[in-house]
Structure 1
């Protein structure tokens, strides 16, 4: 028996599609960065378990999930070209439900961020504004291959790291913590450039000037490798200066392994970008935690 094509579509989003919209697979980087900030602060965790757990949930499922929903709503026309099976272009999240979900999660983020004190709330406000500035017109920094990945790198790596350290310290983090957090955030620009490879055709057709579109896949991949490598080299140098040669050595080994992965990536940048995200990027984020442990025992300048 065939199903009549005239049956009306559901006016409510499918629960599974709502989970898909906020992309749990993307939550790890900001959650990990927040934990790096917690570790780097050097404050005993006893008595702080609630704010640590709340911060992890805020950084990942709430703020990152909200940013994914906002991005998918603002990118629904691009996704109709690149990935028509996604929740919004496929109709599994109908009408304006994608926008409503993003707005409700923005409000939820601010409410939860308020529970983390002035530093946590201030960082949450910046994170929410950055998410909308990245995706929504008229700002839509995503259209720039320079500003877009830079904003995401700061939001996914630098801001959560800074926030985790600030919340645990109940004040501004030490200058060393801020320096390392910023360096890893800058390096994440390269990671986000590689992430843009998957939307190459849709970006080209809709006027999004990602670096793979503007420079071509080969040049963009080489630039991404340089951008990922230089901040790590600076972190290694700083750790040696600060008297942490063992931690610096571990990150050096990680960087050398990334060089091998980069050589593989450059043989086929567009085809190998997903593979690199599972290898080189993993080594990158492991180095972040090594650096956090080194910072944990450092004093102020």
Structure 2
């Protein structure tokens, strides 16, 4: 089997972002401990990377009929990867991630199992629960920052909690945003996303509310003196991007523009994460 379809199934950009979130969470607790803790940090990155890839493959397996309508070029509906092979890839990645977590200790293994359970719940049942399903995904997105803090510090500091909350809110907006892109296939399969139940414009309003909520929370780390000045520029860019994305989505909640915005939001989240890393090193 060719490597390219497997990578497309895993969404490596998402995997790297989640692995990086663990590193950011660890760096906030103590960058000076990286030389002595680098093996555990590498294992934490591996866990987040692998479980994210696992969740992408697992979700694509359950969404294969919907993707045949919404995204026919994806590896499974296009025939590049058989559904059973996608499940095998998902299983292999989950075993790799959980093995890496088990080496770092029982607490992190339990947290990894919780994340995996949330992912399975979303793919099998949660997606049909509308906004509740979006919240399940965002919980998995928020966990890596806390995971990184526990990895080398025992407990996450307030900075990590706030960063997790921002990631949770912005990703929930993105998940609702994605529902506009997938509305036809979701409607055909009886998936009650916000876009299906409230229409594209209603979903755009909900997504924008979450985006703007994340922007509002981003002021708190600076207000409470939890971050350095290195936080300011990248987070200002990310905030400006989220405000622009909200404005654009509200003006034009079409499928084409919604697809563009969901991709842009991933960029804003990446820039924001860099700000979390740089500014959190106080």
- TM-score class normalised by the smaller sequence: 0.7 to 0.9
Structure 2 distance, partners of 1:104, 1:257, is 36
Higher mean Cα deviation, 46-55 or 90-99? 90-99
* C-alpha distance 245-173 of structure 1, shift in aligned 2 (>3 A): closer
Structure 1 distance, partners of 2:265, 2:10, is 24
The C-alpha deviation readout for 1:108-139, integer Å capped at 9, x for no partner, is 22112112223332221112112111112xxx
Higher mean Cα deviation, 272-281 or 208-217? 272-281
Q: Does the 8 Å CA contact 1:261/1:276 hold for their aligned counterparts?
A: yes
Is there any run of 5+ residues in structure 1 with no aligned partner, and where? 1-12
Q: Does the 8 Å CA contact 1:236/1:252 hold for their aligned counterparts?
A: no
Count of paired positions: 279
Q: Does the 8 Å CA contact 2:134/2:176 hold for their aligned counterparts?
A: yes
* 1:199 aligned residue (159, 167, 182): 182
Q: TM-score, normalised by structure 2?
A: 0.87
The C-alpha deviation readout for 1:52-99, integer Å capped at 9, x for no partner, is 223223212x11110011111111221222223332233332362222
Match of 1:125 in 2: 113
Match of 2:201 in 1: 218
3-state secondary structure, aligned to 2:74: coil
The CA RMSD over aligned residues, in Å, is: 2.4
Structure 1 distance, partners of 2:191, 2:8, is 24
* C-alpha distance 141-264 of structure 1, shift in aligned 2 (>3 A): same
3-state secondary structure, aligned to 2:36: coil
Match of 1:88 in 2: 76
* 2:130 aligned residue (140, 145, 155): 145
Q: Which of the pair is proportionally richer in helix?
A: 2
Between Structure 1 and Structure 2, whose CA radius of gyration is higher? 1
Higher mean Cα deviation, 246-255 or 84-93? 246-255
Q: Does the 8 Å CA contact 2:47/2:96 hold for their aligned counterparts?
A: no
Q: Matches of residues 224-235 of structure 1 in structure 2 within 5 Å?
A: 224-235=207-218
Structure 2 distance, partners of 1:167, 1:64, is 18
Residue 264 of structure 2 is aligned to residue 279 of structure 1: yes
Runs of 4+ in structure 1 off by over 6 angstroms are none
* 2:143 aligned residue (135, 149, 159): 159
Residue 254 of structure 2 is aligned to residue 266 of structure 1: no
CA offset at residue 181 of structure 1? 1.4
Match of 1:36 in 2: 24
Match of 1:55 in 2: 44
Match of 1:288 in 2: 273
